[in-house]
Structure 1
Amino acid sequence: MTVLVGYTRTAEGRAALHHGREFAALLDAPLAIFPLFDIDAATDWPSPELLEEAGNQTQFLSRVPSSNHAAEELLDLGAQIGARLVVIGVRSRSRVGKILLGSDAQSIILGSPIPVLSVKAENHEH
């Protein structure tokens, strides 16, 4: 049973990775990281820094070019790999911001049949 981290290149994404690694160790489970951002040919995925931070036993998942949103892809992959826990980073946003921009975190939390751990970053970069 895998611990699946929804990763972003933000302080919240790093917090999700940190807590995901801790839970994977506690559960003696593999860790998988899914990018919640678009990957193109110019994107360095996974980055050398992320490879070092995540450790050798980590599986790096890729986005599939499709019409699905990142949250839907993460949930589909979570079911396929038998994830036991999904870990995501969250940040506070105004109501208007949520309406205009949507929220992958909200979609994951509300739509996941797998338990979701949502974490906040200790230091905000915004």
Structure 2
Amino acid sequence: MTILVGYTSTPEGHAALRHGVETAGSTGKPLAIFPLSDRAEGTGGDASLEAALGAGARLLERDPQGRHPAEELIDTAQEAGAELVVIGVRNRSRVSKILLGSDAQSIILGSPVPVLTVKAATDER
């Protein structure tokens, strides 16, 4: 079974990656990283992503086919046999949630496996 991290190159994404690396290390499970945005697909100077990949994590490729990244992550969790999904979250206003929706909520409610949500430390924002 795999630990799957939904990753973005944001403070919240870095927090999710850090927790995913820690969880995989403490359980001995393999770590897979799913880029939730196109910016995360290349390692281009992202030190935390490069470190995780150097430690044996696997960077998955996206295959959008017109789907939302949250849907892709849920499908990937099933396909990869994930045991746990780790995502970063941030506070948002009610209006922002209504206008933009909530990717985190879609993942939490749609995931076939437990989802660990983490917030970025205050000094990371």
Output the TM-score relative to the length of structure 1: 0.89
Which residue identity is paired with 1:84? E
Alpha-carbon contact 2:7-2:33 (below 8 Å) kept: yes
User: 1:64 corresponds to which residue?
Assistant: 63
Can you list the C-alpha shifts for 1:15-46, whole angstroms capped at 9, x where unaligned? 0000001110111000000111136xxx7613
Distance 2:5 2:41 in 1: 18
Percent identity of paired positions between Structure 1 and Structure 2: 58
SS of residue in 2 equivalent to 1:3: strand
Output the TM-score relative to the length of structure 2: 0.89
User: 2:43 corresponds to which residue?
Assistant: 46
Which residue identity is paired with 1:47? G
Unmatched segments (≥5 aa) in structure 2 = none
Can you list the C-alpha shifts for 1:50-92, whole angstroms capped at 9, x where unaligned? 2124433110011113111001101101111100000000001
My pick for the range that moved more, 95-104 or 49-58, is 49-58
Q: Give 1:102 deviation, angstroms.
A: 1.3
Unmatched segments (≥5 aa) in structure 1 = none
User: 1:10 corresponds to which residue?
Assistant: 10
Aligned residues: 122
Higher helix share: 2
Q: Pairwise CA RMSD of aligned residues?
A: 1.6
Q: Give 1:93 deviation, angstroms.
A: 0.3
Distance 1:91 1:105 in 2: 9
